[in-house]
């Protein structure tokens, strides 16, 4: 529940923020007639992502227990970890300029006299977040232990996803309709650090699969066995496994990959954040008042 909440909240807020910025800009420039084009782009992206996600899950589920499923799971873990890392660093570097970039691209689409340009812009933005969400969700489902793969467990995953979207859309609504302010840099800093830990868990799962397949023959020694104390199949153990990569019998290589990734990624992320904050403080006198990297969508 917690992993899906974090993922859907993070992706939901980014997608809804993009849509809110587009609608706000069109409203401010007296072009509300183009709202429908934005909605069409969003709807097309949602339908495509949902259809693709369901199709992939059904296809992989047919190979339950086989090496084919293990191959796909491993590939999904690696892609999800790479995407999590990329999007976290990308958003941290573009949070302050996101509004201006979207407004510029909207002007370009409108200047060409093609309304489909706005639909394409909304489709691309929301579709990208949707594809990322689909990959992360599949990774979370695959990372869940077989013991915990019950209908009740599935309901908790859905509840977490639904709650994440509700909170994200509520925040976007407050920004668009109520003129709320959101410090995007701080927001993505907090979620970014959490997602780095989540990505490390996916990498550890990938290592476990590769060792089971015999593709990695080193670092196979087991560091500890806590199955009697906290099993991965228990409710709490499954949450820890999905969120931070907890393993009841981790190998040396799993632990090494987890530690190296978390240490290096969070160090790079915090260094990037600190340099960005220092640059803003130097360039903008208003930074001390908390104005820098704060976004406000005007109605």
Domain of residue 62, residue span: 2-296
pLDDT of residue 291: 39
**pLDDT score of 209 more than 70:** yes
Range of weakest confidence among 43-52, 142-151, 221-230: 142-151
**pLDDT score of 151 more than 60:** no
**pLDDT score of 293 more than 50:** no
Could you tell me the pLDDT band of residue 177, with boundaries at 50, 70 and 90?
low
**pLDDT score of 289 more than 60:** no
Mean pLDDT of all residues in 69-87: 86
Q: How many Cα atoms within 13 Å fall on the side-chain side of residue 63?
A: 13
Q: What is the pTM of this model?
A: 0.75
What six digits make up the tokens of 255?
């632990």
pLDDT of residue 296: 46
CB neighbour class for 112 (10 Å; exposed up to 12, middle 13-18, buried from 19): exposed
CB neighbour class for 185 (10 Å; exposed up to 12, middle 13-18, buried from 19): buried
**pLDDT score of 152 more than 80:** no
**pLDDT score of 280 more than 90:** no
Write down the mean pLDDT value for the chain.
Answer: 78
Q: What residues are paired with 294 via a beta bridge?
A: 183
Percentage, residues of the chain above pLDDT 70: 80
pLDDT of residue 284: 52
**pLDDT score of 147 more than 50:** no
Could you tell me the pLDDT band of residue 210, with boundaries at 50, 70 and 90?
very high
| Residue carrying the six token digits 């999007």 | 87
Q: How far apart are CA 240 and CA 250, in angstroms?
A: 13
**pLDDT score of 47 more than 70:** yes
**pLDDT score of 160 more than 70:** yes
**pLDDT score of 221 more than 80:** yes
Mean pLDDT of all residues in 128-145: 78
| pLDDT per residue as tens digits for the range 1-36 | 677 787 888 778 778 877 877 887 888 888 888 888
What six digits make up the tokens of 85?
């890392």
pLDDT of residue 252: 96
Percentage, residues of the chain above pLDDT 90: 12
Count: domains in the chain: 1
Mean pLDDT of all residues in 226-237: 83
Higher-confidence residue of 57 and 199: namely 199
Q: How far apart are CA 257 and CA 240, in angstroms?
A: 17
pLDDT of residue 251: 95
pLDDT of residue 290: 41
**pLDDT score of 286 more than 50:** no
């Amino acid at each position: 529940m917690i992993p899906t909440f974090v993922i859907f909240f993070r992706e939901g807020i980014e997608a809804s923020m993009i849509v809110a910025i587009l609608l706000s800009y069109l409203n401010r420039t007296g072009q509300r007639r183009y709202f429908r084009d934005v909605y069409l782009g969003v709807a097309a992206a949602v339908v495509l992502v949902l259809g693709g996600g369901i199709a992939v899950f059904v296809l992989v589920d047919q190979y339950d227990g086989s090496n084919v499923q293990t191959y796909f799971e491993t590939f999904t873990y690696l892609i999800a970890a790479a995407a999590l890392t990329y999007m976290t660093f990308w958003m941290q570097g573009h949070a302050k300029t996101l509004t201006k970039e979207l407004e510029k691209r909207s002007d370009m689409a409108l200047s060409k006299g093609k309304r489909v340009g706005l639909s394409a812009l909304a489709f691309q933005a929301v579709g990208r977040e949707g594809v990322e969400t689909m990959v992360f969700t599949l990774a979370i489902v695959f990372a869940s232990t077989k013991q915990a793969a019950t209908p009740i467990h599935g309901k908790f995953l859905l509840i977490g996803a639904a709650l994440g979207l509700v909170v994200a859309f509520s925040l976007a609504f407050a920004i668009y309709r109520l003129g709320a302010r959101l410090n995007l840099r701080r927001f993505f800093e907090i979620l970014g650090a959490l997602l780095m830990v989540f990505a490390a868990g996916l990498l550890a799962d990938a290592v476990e699969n590769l060792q089971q397949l015999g593709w990695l023959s080193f670092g196979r020694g087991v560091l500890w066995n806590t199955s009697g104390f906290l099993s991965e199949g228990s409710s709490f153990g499954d949450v820890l496994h999905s969120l931070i990569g907890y393993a009841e019998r981790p190998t040396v290589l799993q632990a090494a990959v987890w530690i190296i990734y978390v240490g290096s990624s969070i160090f790079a992320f915090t260094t990037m954040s600190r340099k960005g904050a220092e640059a803003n403080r130097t360039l903008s006198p208003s930074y001390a008042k908390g104005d820098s990297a704060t976004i406000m969508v005007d109605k």
